[in-house]
Amino acid sequence: MKKTLLNLAIMGTLVAASNAALAHSDDSKNPKSCAGLPSQSTLKSALQAAQYDPSSDHALNGGFGLNMWATVVDRDGIVCAVAFTGADRGAQWPGSRVISAQKANTANAFSLDGLALSTANLYSAVQPGGSLFGLQESNPVDTAAAYKGPSKNYGLANDPLVGNKIGGVNVFGGGLALYDGNRKVIGAIGVSGDSSCADHNIAWRTRNTLLLDHVPSAVSVSGDATRPDNIVYPVGGWGHPACNASVAAIAAALPVTR
């Protein structure tokens, strides 16, 4: 009997040690994984500045002037920060919280140090007959992480998404890889809450404010080497639908870090 109890105790110790080792190796709980990326408060400030253009003319982003969600992920797709611009979590489309995380995951998952892909660049390629048709089905959202509560913390520093891998692939404007001063991709940002064209433009302005737009090269065929992962109009190749008549000119004038 004593021997049996001793064996059970040893087994219990080994299981506990094994679980502790697994927990220790779980990078989704590693706070160091978000080093070099913006905090929640920094993200929120940059997002608000991008949404509310200095001229106070929301039309300059090519959308409806709606409040926005933004998510930042690290290079492993772990959510580091989630923010919104409105007075509370209901002041912007609730569904756009997860979409912003999807966009961040997508831009990170399909960008490299030498080649950036914005979510806007993927639109045409994933349509039936396109070279990447079916891509949007390849990395499904982790619904347990996406809809975990409490809802009252959505968009705050302790948003339940933080520290989790959200997954998901989104294929319209609003997701951009983040590049540091060494032109290394260190994660991505996703923005959602308005037209897809405005989402891209606001994500772009936010990235520029964060000084994480040192993009080396991309598939963009806009002919503008200073904005290599920019949205491309019209549809075709790596193009994206134009949300209104002004968005092409807006995209061509988006700020870049020189």
Question: DSSP alpha helices (H): ranges in 68-125?
Answer: 96-109
Contact assessment for residue 170 and residue 190, using Cβ atoms and an 8 Å cutoff: yes
What architecture (CATH level 2) is domain 35-252?
Answer: 2-Layer Sandwich (3.30)
pLDDT of residue 12: 44
pLDDT of residue 17: 38
Task: Give the mean pLDDT of the chain.
Answer: 85
Question: DSSP alpha helices (H): ranges in 95-241?
Answer: 96-109, 143-146, 196-209
Strand ranges (DSSP E) for 31-95? 69-74, 79-84
Domain ranges of the chain: 1-34, 35-252
Amino acid at 113: D
Q: Please identify every stretch of the chain with a pLDDT value under 70, giving residue numbers as ranges.
A: 1-31, 53-59, 220-223, 235-237, 258
Which residues does 45 contact at the CB level (< 8 Å), separation at least 6?
Answer: none
| 32 vs 176: CA distance, rounded Å | 22
pLDDT of residue 60: 79
Amino acid at 7: N
Q: What would the pLDDT profile of 205-227 be if each residue is shown by its tens digit?
A: 999 999 999 998 877 555 677 88
Residue given tokens 């700020």 in the structure block: 255
